[in-house]
Amino acid sequence: MRHTRVYVADASSTDGTPDLVRKFKQDGLLDVEVIAGGLPSVGRNAGAALATTDYLLFMDADVELKDPSLIGRCVERMQRGQLHCVTTNILCRDGKAIDHILYTGNNMCQYLSRLHQPFATGMFMMFDRQRFEELGGFNERALYAEDYLLSKKVNRSRFRIVRGGVLTTNRRFRNMGRAKVATLFFKTAFNFWNERHFLRDHEYWKH
């Protein structure tokens, strides 16, 4: 990993993230750079614009690899199948039973999406860089679910879910409330045809 170029898009965080990132670079642990962020779509596009690799991996800041071989297996799968996008399962490393159930439901929806329109979560999504650019990257006007808007443009034959998973927390459920998160998820699914729905402020980032 120390030779892999990493960009951290920082949206004016106040928790010391930039300093921590720079320490990783100073200690020679990562080839990492802090860049200006904003909403996730803005930060991710900014990082992608600087990348020169064949593949782009987007991850949320609070996501942790469950299996260190996951990234390598994703690249291998992309190359072997000439895929445009891969994702994996999202697992909750803490929280209550209901939190694990909600993430399990998310994973099931990802698998079902292969029958209609792919759904990759921004917590972990790898793109073929050329196809990413052809699709125009993330919609920077989207106020939430920018990951869904982009991944659903991928041809389902070029989309895969790689076994394993990444670990995240239940902070979204704690901050917003489980009912509100679930409601937003279902509204996303039922508005797959209506892009204007995602351009409205649903107060997702307020929390």
Q: Which of 29, 24, 56 is nearest to 43 (CA)?
A: 56
Residue predicted with more confidence, 128 or 192: 128
Give residue 11's pLDDT: 85
Going from the C-alpha of 185 to that of each of 49, 95, 193, 202, the distances in angstroms are 29, 19, 14, 12
Q: Does the pLDDT value for residue 207 go beyond 60?
A: no
Three-state DSSP at 8 gives strand
pLDDT confidence bin for 85, thresholds 50/70/90 = very high
- Please tell me the least confidently modeled range out of 8-17, 83-92, 97-106: 8-17
Q: Answer yes or no: are the C-beta atoms of 11 and 43 closer than 8 Å.
A: yes
User: Which fold would CATH assign to domain 54-199?
Assistant: Spore Coat Polysaccharide Biosynthesis Protein SpsA; Chain A (3.90.550)
| pLDDT tens, position by position, 92-106 | 988 899 999 999 999
Q: Does the pLDDT value for residue 50 go beyond 70?
A: yes
Residues present in the chain in total: 207
| pLDDT tens, position by position, 113-166 | 989 889 999 999 999 999 999 999 999 999 989 999 999 999 999 999 999 999
Placement of tokens 């125009």 in the chain: 136
Give residue 206's pLDDT: 67
Q: Where are the beta strands (DSSP E) in 119-187?
A: 124-128, 159-168
Percentage, residues of the chain above pLDDT 90: 67
